[in-house]
Amino acid sequence: MGPIETAWRHSASRRRALMSFAALLAGSPRLHAQLDPRSLKGHPRVPSLDEMMTAFDFEPVCFANMPLRLYDYMAHGGDSEWSIRRNREVFDWIETVSRPPVDVSSVDSSTSILGLAMDSPLMIAPSSRQADLHPDAEAGMYRGATAARVPMIVANRPSLSHEDIAAAADGPRWIQFYPNPNVTLSQRRLEGFQAAGAQAIVITVDQQATKFERDLHDRHLGGNPAPARESDEESEDFETPMGGPELYGLPVPGRLWYNWDYLDRIRQFIEVPILIKGILTAEDARLCIEHGFDGVVVSNHGARTLDYVPSTLEVLPEIVAEVGGAVPVLIDSGFRRGRDVYKALALGASGVCLGRAARWGLGAFGSLGVTRLLRILQTELKETMAENGRATVRAINDSAVRTDFP
């Protein structure tokens, strides 16, 4: 082999050169290559549960355990998914302010929300179709959360019956409710939720997108989008559109009718605290208080709602200021690390609800994965508190961070 051939043999091939260039770009500090990276993708084996180090480590294992169409049903956002990206980018705009550290063993992360004593300000956000993740479904999520001493908010329409979920563990459990214009049906469901042990009712009032571009891409790649549920709550009460604007991606009839009169009517059926979920403005938070509700959840539905809505952390300070301590303010959408939780607490949140991250734990390792993931976040929160000299949750206030929102 001559010198030219030898040089060619040892030079970078076109493919290898392109791969190296892509790796260089992905590692550039000026680019957000993957805001929720599948960080274990290059490993020669799947690490064990005990080797999981961050919440992100669970995501590629969960991904590998699921068909793409079901994974993407969980992962997708509305339209261009701009709001999903913003939910993660917002944490880059908040810096923690250092103070003399304290011994992590002295840190107390306990708190109380609506009379519920909690070891940490973490909760499981409501999310449906958990049978897509693991055969134990919501029962596994509830067992895992209870083992980590974290309360769970069960979705309005879970994969299992509320009675079966209740039998799986004995931890605190709230239940989500979607408004239904049939007041009689609403009453029956709300009374059933309370009979199943709901310690609070979380009413979701945000508007969901009616189409997801990622589903279309899955179809073009030879797969199918996630199937519609055979018994979807809203389809029971509204006719499927045969024509008109609903067929072109505009809001379905089951949305956009919500009003305060309805919420005031169904209050008479609820004997436990009521929180309103899906609040993104100070005005709506004020109305929640004026109508006598017991708490608000700042949420953009994990960016599964209409695209180009603000991230929840951006609007949290104005909502907290408007509420003025009258009711607890919870928050969700985009939280992955204990440091993320710390930043929300500093901006006034009473607690943080975990949606996709908790699902990664269930999809990766079942209930044990949920427990492990939650304990990782609890440890990260305590370490962040210790590093920044905040020995209690009450000591975390707006002096603990600097914000630079665009």
Instruction: Evaluate whether 294 touches 274 at the Cβ level (below 8 Å).
Output: yes
Residue given tokens 């030879």 in the structure block: 222
291 is catalytic: no
Given a contact cutoff of 8 angstroms between Cβ atoms, the answer to whether 218 and 76 are in contact is: no
Distance from CA of residue 1 to its chain's centroid?
Answer: 59
Residues paired with residue 124 on neighbouring β-strands, in sequence order: 152, 354
* Closest residue by Cα to residue 328 from 367, 363, 285: 285
3-state secondary structure of 288: helix
Q: Are 119 and 126 in contact (CB under 8 A)?
A: no
User: Residue 204: what residue type?
Assistant: T
Q: At what angle do helices 356-387 and 137-147 cross, to 10 degrees?
A: 10
Smallest CA-to-CA distance from 259 within 291, 282, 281, 230 is with 291
Helices 356-387/68-75 angle, 10° precision: 50
Region at 249 (left for phi over 0; alpha for psi -120 to 50; beta for the rest): left
Is beta strand 94-96 parallel, antiparallel or unpaired with respect to 401-403?
Answer: antiparallel
Instruction: Choose the catalytic residue: 76, 134, 162, 301.
Output: 301
Are 371 and 140 contacting, i.e. CB atoms less than 8 angstroms apart? no
- Which residues fall within 8 angstroms of residue 278, CB to CB, at 6 or more apart? 204, 205, 206, 297, 299, 300, 301, 305
Contact 388, 381 (CB under 8 A): no
Residue 392: phi, psi to the nearest 5? -135, 160
User: Strand, coil or helix: what is 153?
Assistant: strand
Rounded to a whole number of angstroms, the distance between the first and last alpha carbons of the chain is 60
H helices of 82-212, in order, are 82-89, 137-147, 162-166, 183-195
Q: Strand 122-124 and strand 295-298: pairing?
A: unpaired
State the Cα–Cα distance between residues 281 and 315, nearest whole angstrom: 7
Catalytic positions, written as ranges: 301
